[in-house]
Structure 1
């Protein structure tokens, strides 16, 4: 059997990214024939996952849940076992064990406790050290009002967590030195959320006071940047393998997707050599439909800061705003090699209808928790994501419903809807709806006595 360690790492990291949607992962350890580098046909990928969240969950149930996640993540031959860190530290010898770290897959040659100080490196060191991730999120989210009157757009809930949470989960496979959040409207809520739910991140918060474009937002991070950087906008969610940046050779990367109407986006024109020749923000011409999805990688962050300075000094704007595409175009004109990275999935979170579409997609792809929902006197139609603390009685829920913590739902029928924390719904008939935090919604079911071939409608 030919042993492909890169393919092995991809499978493990894809699985761990899926696990982190539900559990905190402290460590993940490979053991058995794959850890030794000597798998044979039919060998399983034996992986031990350590999480403090497993405390109180029976071991068999943990293993079954991890196995289900592995199956959903399409990580073939992966056989995961779940333990708490305390259980692992006090366990007897596991045998030959490896650990998935930022530096690759580390193999232990004996009982874990005896060799923690001198592990043997199995794969090459990754090259993303020094990476800074800049996340601009200072916008007002006007298209999502009234919800964004009281919370910033990145904290809109989809499929069980805020949009920002889904974005941050993407970086499970990409070690980053620091996350720089460019905040504005209700920015303190962003700080509270990241500090509470992602305490492991080294985070810095900078406030954008003048709303005059993407470039000026990113430029606020200038004094904290050196080396490579990623720029990520949270209006949209994409599916991409960021771990490949470890071996990136281009000067820059723009993630793209073909769309029917590119006029709302920036587009990339690609030459015969595969590199971008021109970036155009909000083009009038729809001939080129390769839209940039709001993800950029730059190998030299300070060179990009100088390009923004040149852009601002020259007052280079599109529709009266400083866009990143114009600053990047200055660098392309001077010889920067930027390639594009196509994505298959690009979900928008900028309008109510697109938020609901994103919720549907995520529930269809790994965020359905209907198997663990206590049905009681209700009917649950998957996929749904229902927080365990929600109280639901005499109701029909689903498909495509997200109900957050502390909600109360009674005598209601709900489908294709997102219900935020603490909301109460009584006698409701809801579809394609967004219900805000602590909202109270009550209605009444009508009683009809309708004869054959009748037609009744309501405006």
Structure 2
């Protein structure tokens, strides 16, 4: 099953880093977050990727082209202008890098991936800035079981601020915990049928608006409820949280050896 990753947005809330590189290339543990996402999918044997590029897409192209070389020992023959690689990465990935426009909205980017994703039936899709510990095989099986066009992963993210329990003016409990009282939100990690492209009008279409609204109205949108770890990287605070989990050896999405 193919996997699409949207990696073309501006990432304006991380402007101090995204001024020089796209948000999916911001590093956690000295690796871009998009690498973490791809490693996670590959753990479940989903290794055929198509990445929708936009803002500073050339940065991602250079990284992938250089990735094999930078993780290997090399023999360089200057006379023959040849490079021989020894060992290095064991990633068995196939990656299509598709320019989907600088200012294209999320729906438009997905529609532009139709020639790459829609020819083999059911495919997966996610954003290039979020990680989770979702059982992707269970997600796939859930999608197949209901026969609808689209499945999104519904999550309850950690609260942005500390939760307070008050007794008068006294704080009797302070905790960081999931927003259980706020209900479920769209956590991406979609499974989609090719018919989803018919719900996207053009480049200006935000996938999170009219397409998902119409799919829901038509009874074609299902939610796979994930109660485990999920975290997007929208802000500096988010990045620091992900980095601290990685540094502490307790990153829930780190399921590979």
The alignment's TM-score, normalised by the length of structure 1, stands at 0.40
Change (3 A) 1:147 1:183: same
| Candidates 155, 159, 180, aligned match of 2:29 | 159
1:259–1:289 contact (8 Å) kept in structure 2: no
User: Aligned ranges for residues 389-428 of structure 1 at < 5 Å?
Assistant: none
TM-fit CA distance, 1:216: 0.5
Q: How many Å separate the matches in 2 of 1:204 and 1:183?
A: 10
Corresponding residue number in structure 1 for 2:220 = 336
3-state SS of paired residue (1:185): coil
Could you say which residue in structure 1 is the equivalent of 2:191?
Answer: 297
Counterpart mapping for 1:35-434 below 5 A: 131-176=1-46, 178-195=48-65, 196-197=67-68, 200-224=92-116, 225-226=118-119, 227-245=121-139, 247-248=141-142, 249-250=145-146, 251=148, 252-259=150-157, 289-298=183-192, 300=193, 302-309=194-201, 312=202, 322-336=206-220, 338-366=222-250
CA distances 1:272-306 after superposition (whole Å, capped 9, x unpaired): xxxxxxxxxxxxxxx853111122111x2x21001
- How far apart are 1:214 and its partner, in Å? 1.0
Q: Structure 2: which 5+ residue stretches go unaligned?
A: 69-88, 161-180, 252-257
1:138 positional shift? 0.7
Runs of 4+ aligned structure 1 residues displaced above 6 Å come to none
Distance 1:200 1:177, change over 3 A: closer
Alignment RMSD (CA, Å): 2.8
Q: Aligned equivalents of 1:233 and 1:332: distance in 2? A: 20
Q: CA offset at residue 200 of structure 1?
A: 2.6
- SS of the equivalent of 2:45 reads coil
How many Å apart are 1:334 and its aligned residue?
2.3
Residues 60-90 of structure 1 show CA distances to partners (whole Å, capped at 9, x for unaligned) of xxxxxxxxxxxxxxxxxxxxxxxxxxxxxxx
Q: Deviations over 1:64-122 (max 9, x none)?
A: xxxxxxxxxxxxxxxxxxxxxxxxxxxxxxxxxxxxxxxxxxxxxxxxxxxxxxxxxxx
Aligned pair count? Answer: 204
Q: Larger helix proportion, structure 1 or 2? A: 2
> How far off is 1:193 after superposition?
2.4
Shift, 1:246, TM fit: 5.0
Whichever of the two has the greater Rg, that structure is 1
How much has 1:185 moved relative to structure 2?
A: 2.0
Unpaired stretches in structure 1, ≥5 consecutive residues? 1-130, 263-286, 316-320, 368-459
Give the TM-score of the pair, scaled to structure 2: 0.69
Q: 1:147 and 1:288, CA in 2 relative to 1: closer, same or farther beyond 3 A?
A: closer
CA distance in 2, matches of 1:325, 1:261: 23
